[in-house]
Amino acid sequence: MAREKLHSALLLLLLVFFLLLLLFLLLILPTQTLRLESLQMASPPLGDDDREQWRSKLLEYYSSNAPAKAVMVTDAMMDKWAGKYEELYANMVEKYGPLGSPIVPKPAPKARPAATADPAGYGKQPAAGGKQSGVAEFRDEFVKLVAVATAAIPTRSSEAAPSLVDAKSNYSANGLETSTFTLCTRIRPTLPHEEGRGGEYFTCIVPGESSTSAGGERTEAALVLTPKVSMTGAPKLEKTSFAFDYTFGPDSTNDEVYAAIGAPLARRALAGSVGVVFAYGQTGSGKTHTMNGLLDGIIGDLYADATAEQRQIKFSYLEVQGESINDCLADLQAGGSKGSAAGKGATGVGAVKIGEALDGRVMTRNLSEHVAGSRAELVALVGVAQSRRRTEATEKNDTSSRSHGVAILEVGPLGSGSGSGLGDLSPGRLYIIDLAGSERAADSKEHSKARMEETKAINLSLMSLKECIRARTMASRPGGGLSVHVPYRRSKLTLLMKDVFDIGCARLCATVVIAAVSPLAQDVAHSTNTLQYAAPLRVAVGVSQVPIELDPRDPVLWTQEQMCSWLSETAAIASDEPGSEEPVPFDAQALFGLMSGMQVCLLAESEFHKRVQSQVPGAAGGGLAKRLYAALWMLIVDAKTRKRSPNGRLITEAEETAAKEASEVERAEKQELWKDREKQLATERSFN
């Protein structure tokens, strides 16, 4: 009897437990779900308006987990996945693993080539990454196919042609192009130790044909003939062509490369402008060899003429490793440490720091500057600096550079003193940048964790550099000056090059990008990745997709009479600077009467000062030249950043004010919507 009562009690307790559990599931769980949904409504994920944030997030992920795929993050991709970025990111994580923990894909099984297959020409699809199965077995057939495919391509002419580096400033569809980008590729020759090795050590990347568009724009192609073995075992070549401003083949010498792209940069530095040249590519692709050749040529030109004794040349060299910056000449006796308060020479104390001053100028601290009085002194400084760069052994190169090496040459007038007006001139600057060799995730899978972090930092800085160039070219389009953000503060390397990327920079800047590639089939995946990185950076010059309304306030478009009238009127206005003198007589017609607005705007700052001071000598002339030149460049920058509608029409101040008011109304409506949503959430919480 007692046992039956015990069983009944246990059954009753069990029934009560299940009833309580059921009550919890019916009442508490829906409340928690509603609360979770409410939190999600209160903190919405990145949406369609956060396109650039998603772009940065995708670039960061690819650079960490699949660097070779980072080139896929283009405008076309962002348009395709608009509104579905979360889905895209989830697919990436599923395929390549969580951020920072990449999944290394297993190699595909090797295909068995058919014994009786005939060579079957080449296809038309883009080259794919990774080694091609069976390529080494068909080496002789592939060599014959490459010879047939390239037989009709004419040899590149080495004759001197008008430099695109100089010409691009005049070709803009939106006034003066203040910052230009010239894209080149250089295909290195086969090295002695690679000849006769057989297998995949044969040439499959060659210079392609040159072409000229209807607008007179000339391009040179790099032709990639990727060897493939079909499913049936037949060898074939997949043909891909990339367009560049210049394509230098294995037979091109350093002198030829320098004449086309290096000499114009040296002339810009002597004229007080900014020049930048950098090489990108796989380790062992010839970047350092090319950059050393350019540096040798630039040094020769800086000391070549009789006026070399009248200028002062300063040299600095730093290496950038992620966010760490080192001075490679810190312990040498120098004339001063740029940016430091003491200025008593380089001591090597403290890391180099890069930042912006209140007026927007980029400042470096603890970076030594060395005055080179002769060519021999400068060559010696370059040798010391390059010997101190960090290198590591890689699969392709025993001394691969694992940091970005930046040589900075500053060229200014010698002995600028009081009353000369020369002290106000901005010195010319040249940045010769030897980027660290790029590596893919598959190349670094055997590296230590520290080396993998280093590779990640290098790839991130390279992607930041590409993103800045892409954004700066978009900002050059009519109406794009204010609507496009150039993220040059994202890395120390791009911040150092702010003059190149800032649409408001009041100096002419020219940048040359060199994509260095290996010609071998062994490296075709790497080389294709390099060309895919660089080719999209090239933009057509002098081409506008829509008719552009001429801006009457743009000095580049002024006639001789308009320019001289403006110069005379501006010179007659008294300066508002403290201690400035009264306006002096100034005849603009005598100095600039034969020059168009474009020609005056293209004058180097030093030449502009010389002309003004030839008529108004001394400190008064120096002050007048400085004031006129600054006012002229203010007009140039204003014209570049003036807002336009999508059809190329200038937006008036009244239209801009109306658009601003409409934006304020829309913002107020959104704020009211969020307030209503918060009230709804508060009401729902009160029921809980």
Q: In what order do the strands lie in the sheet with 122-123?
A: 122-123, 235-244, 218-229, 205-212
What digits encode the pLDDT tens for the residues 299-350?
A: 999 998 777 778 889 999 998 887 788 899 987 754 444 443 223 333 344 5
Does 285 count as an annotated binding residue? yes
Span between the terminal Cα atoms of the chain, in Å: 47
Alpha-carbon distance of 67 to 600, in angstroms, equals 45
The pair phi, psi for residue 6, each rounded to 5°, is -65, -45
Residue in 591, 586, 592, 608 with CA at minimum distance from that of residue 560: 592
pLDDT at 43: 41
Q: Give me the torsion for CA of 16, 18, 23, 29, rounded to 10°.
A: 150
Q: CA 467, 470, 476 angle in degrees (round to 5)?
A: 140
The pair phi, psi for residue 290, each rounded to 5°, is -65, -45
Residue in 193, 188, 166 with CA at minimum distance from that of residue 177: 166
Q: Taking the CB of residue 13, how many other CB atoms lie within 10 A of it?
A: 10
Q: Taking the CB of residue 219, how many other CB atoms lie within 10 A of it?
A: 20
Position 686: which residue type?
Answer: S
Does 284 count as an annotated binding residue? yes
Please give the C-alpha separations between residue 110 and each of 92, 107, 143, 612, 656, in angstroms, as whole numbers.
26, 9, 21, 73, 63
Does 437 count as an annotated binding residue? no
Residues 6+ apart with CB under 8 A from 518: 187, 188, 205, 282, 284, 285, 286, 526, 527
Which of helix, strand or coil describes residue 257?
Answer: helix
Which of helix, strand or coil describes residue 50?
Answer: helix
Does 286 count as an annotated binding residue? yes
Does 83 count as an annotated binding residue? no
Alpha-carbon distance of 500 to 72, in angstroms, equals 25
DSSP structure string for 117-150: PPP--EE-SPP-SSPPTTTGGGHHHHHHHHHHHH
Position 203: which residue type?
Answer: T
Alpha-carbon distance of 372 to 462, in angstroms, equals 31
Cα torsion angle, 485, 492, 513, 250, sign: negative
- Residue carrying structure tokens 């201690």: 579
Residues 6+ apart with CB under 8 A from 661: none
pLDDT at 574: 66
What average pLDDT is seen over the chain? 77
Alpha-carbon distance of 427 to 413, in angstroms, equals 8
pLDDT at 83: 80
Residue in 356, 352, 383, 354 with CA at minimum distance from that of residue 368: 352
Encoded tokens for 10: 């246990």
Tell me if 421 sits within 8 A of 626, measured CB to CB: yes
Q: CA 213, 216, 220 angle in degrees (round to 5)?
A: 60
Domains and their CATH numbers in the chain: 2-96 (no CATH), 166-201+249-305+320-330+354-414+426-537 (3.40.850.10), 555-641 (1.10.150)
pLDDT at 158: 52
pLDDT at 114: 44
Q: Report the relative pairing of strands 218-229 and 205-212 from DSSP bridges.
A: antiparallel
pLDDT at 603: 87
Q: Profile the chain (688 residues) by mean pLDDT over runs of 10 residues.
A: 72 79 66 45 52 80 77 78 84 83 59 42 40 74 90 68 69 64 92 84 90 76 91 88 92 92 90 89 88 92 82 91 84 51 37 84 89 92 86 53 84 60 72 78 54 71 83 70 78 87 82 92 90 77 58 86 92 67 79 87 86 88 88 85 71 79 87 84 74
Residues 6+ apart with CB under 8 A from 505: 178, 179, 498, 499, 637
Does 282 count as an annotated binding residue? yes
Encoded tokens for 259: 């004449």
pLDDT at 586: 84
Please give the C-alpha separations between residue 217 and each of 198, 249, 612, in angstroms, as whole numbers.
40, 21, 36
- What does pTM read for this prediction? 0.69
pLDDT at 575: 62
Q: What is the CA radius of gyration of the chain?
A: 31
Alpha-carbon distance of 679 to 686, in angstroms, equals 11
CA 431 to chain centre: 14
Own/partner contacts of 395-399, CB < 8 Å, gap of 24 or more, are 395/443, 396/282, 396/283, 396/284, 396/437, 396/523, 397/283, 397/284, 397/437
pLDDT at 348: 42
pLDDT at 315: 94
What digits encode the pLDDT tens for the residues 374-386?
A: 999 999 999 999 8
Tell me if 418 sits within 8 A of 619, measured CB to CB: yes
pLDDT at 577: 58
